[in-house]
Amino acid sequence: MPRALLSVSDKSGLADFARGLAARGFDLVSTGGTARALQQAGLSVITISDVTGFPEMMDGRVKTLHPLVHGGILARRRRADDLAAAAAHGITLIDLVAVNLYPFAKAAANPDTPFDALVEEIDIGGPSLVRAAAKNFEDVTVVVSPADYPAVLDELDRREGPSREFRFELARKAFAHTGRYDTAIAATLATVAAGPDGFTRGGPTLLPPALPVDLRKVRDLRYGENPHQQAALYEGFGGQPGFRLLQGKELSYTNLLDLDAAARIATEFTEPAAVVIKHTNPCGAATGRTAAEAYVRARDADAPAAFGGIVGLNRPIDVETARAIVPTFIEAVIAPAVHEEARPVLATKTNMRVVVPGGATAEAAGEIELRSIVGGVLVQARDIVREARGAWPGADGLKVVTKRQPTAEEWQALRFAWRICAHVKSNAVIFTSADRTLAIGAGQMSRVDAVKVARLKADASGGQALEGSVAASDAFFPFRDGLDAVAAAGATAVVQPGGSVRDQEVIAAADEHGLAMVFTGRRHFRH
**Per-residue confidence band for 197, with pLDDT thresholds at 50, 70 and 90:** confident
CA torsion through residues 196, 202, 208, 214, sign: positive
pLDDT of residue 407: 97
Higher pLDDT, 123 or 456: 456
Q: Is the pLDDT of residue 487 over 90?
A: yes
Q: Is the pLDDT of residue 238 over 60?
A: no
Reported as a single tens digit per residue, the pLDDT across 377-402 is 998 888 999 999 999 998 889 999 99
Catalytic site residue 399? Answer: no
Answer whether 16's CB lies under 8 Å from 39's CB.
no
Judge residue 483's burial from the number of C-beta atoms within 10 Å of its C-beta, 0-12 exposed, 13-18 middle, 19 or more buried: buried
**Per-residue confidence band for 292, with pLDDT thresholds at 50, 70 and 90:** very high
Question: Annotated catalytic residue: which of 11, 135, 173, 425?
Answer: 135
Q: Where is average pLDDT lowest: 50-59, 270-279, 289-298?
A: 50-59
Supply the mean pLDDT for the chain. Answer: 89
Q: Is the pLDDT of residue 436 over 90?
A: yes
Q: Is the pLDDT of residue 516 over 90?
A: yes
Q: How many other C-beta atoms are found inside a 10 Å radius of the C-beta of residue 158?
A: 10
**Per-residue confidence band for 363, with pLDDT thresholds at 50, 70 and 90:** very low
Q: Is the pLDDT of residue 365 over 70?
A: no
Question: Annotated catalytic residue: which of 66, 249, 279, 339?
Answer: 279
pLDDT of residue 104: 82
Max avg pLDDT among 177-191, 330-344, 355-369 = 330-344
pLDDT of residue 66: 83
Reported as a single tens digit per residue, the pLDDT across 19-37 is 999 999 999 998 888 889 9
On the CB side of 380, CA atoms within 13 Å amount to 9
pLDDT of residue 116: 82
Catalytic site residue 279? Answer: yes
DSSP designation for 157: T
Q: Per-residue pLDDT averaged across 38-54, rounded?
A: 86
**Per-residue confidence band for 122, with pLDDT thresholds at 50, 70 and 90:** confident
Q: Is the pLDDT of residue 445 over 90?
A: yes
Q: Is the pLDDT of residue 262 over 60?
A: yes
Reported as a single tens digit per residue, the pLDDT across 161-172 is 899 999 999 999
Taken in order of first residue, the domains within the chain and their CATH numbers are 3-192 (3.40.50.1380), 241-363 (3.40.140.20), 393-519 (3.40.140.20)
What letters, b where the CB count within 10 A reaches 16 and e where it falls short, cover 76-95? eeeeeebeeebeeeebbbbb
Task: Evaluate if pTM is beyond 0.95.
Answer: no
